[in-house]
Structure 1
Amino acid sequence: LELHLVGGFLDSRGYSEDLAVRLIYSFNKQPVSVHLVTACITELNNSLRGIINWPVVYGIGVNVKSGEIFPATFPDKGPDMPVRLTRYFTSSYEVRYST
C-alpha cells in the first residue's frame, strides 16, 4: 500500500502534529507493508503569514489515469448548511460517531 499524508501544519494547539504522529504510528502497526510516499504535514506544510502559522497545502487531488498528485483548491471552507445545523435538528449539541 502507498500512503500519502497531506494537510497538517504547525497549528497553535498542536492538533496536526498529534494527529500526524498517531496516523503514522497506526499505519506502522499494520500487518501489511505500507510505504509512506508523500508527507506534506506539520512543519513540511507550514508557512508564516506574519506571525501566524498557515498550511501551504490543504489537500490534494489525484489524476487517476496518470497518478499525478496536485494541490486541490476548496472554494467552500466547510460542510453544507444542513450538515452544520444537524445538532439543532436532533436536540443534541454533540456529534457522536459510532463504529
Structure 2
Amino acid sequence: METEENDGMLEIRLVRIRGHVQGVGYREACVRRATALGVTGWVRNRLDGSVETMLQGSPEQLADMCAWLSEGMSAALVDELAVTEVQPPFVRFDNFERLPTL
C-alpha cells in the first residue's frame, strides 16, 4: 500500500452491510466480485453480525460494487447498506482481501 494525495478518479467508500450476511459465504463472494470489477480494499465480519468493507476504485466500479453488495448473493439477505465516502488523502490498496473479524 502506498499513500496517494491526488489520484484523480480514484475514490474510497466504507460500507457497512446489515442483514443475514454472516455464515453464508458473503465475504468470499465479495472478494470474488471486487476482484472481477478491479476494486481494491478489504472485507471483514463485525462482531455485531454485520459485514464491513473498504472499497477503492473509480466511481463506476464503486457504483457497480455497491449495487452488488445491496443485492448480495442468493444465500444472503441484505437489510441495510450504509455507505460513507472517505476523503483523500488515503492509502492506495494493491488488492482486495478478507480481514479477520473485528
TM-score by length of 1: 0.31
> Comparing both structures, which one devotes a greater share of its residues to strand?
2
For CA contacts below 8 A with separation 6 or more, give which structure has more relative contact order. 2
Q: Greater CA radius of gyration, 1 or 2?
A: 1
TM-score by length of 2: 0.30
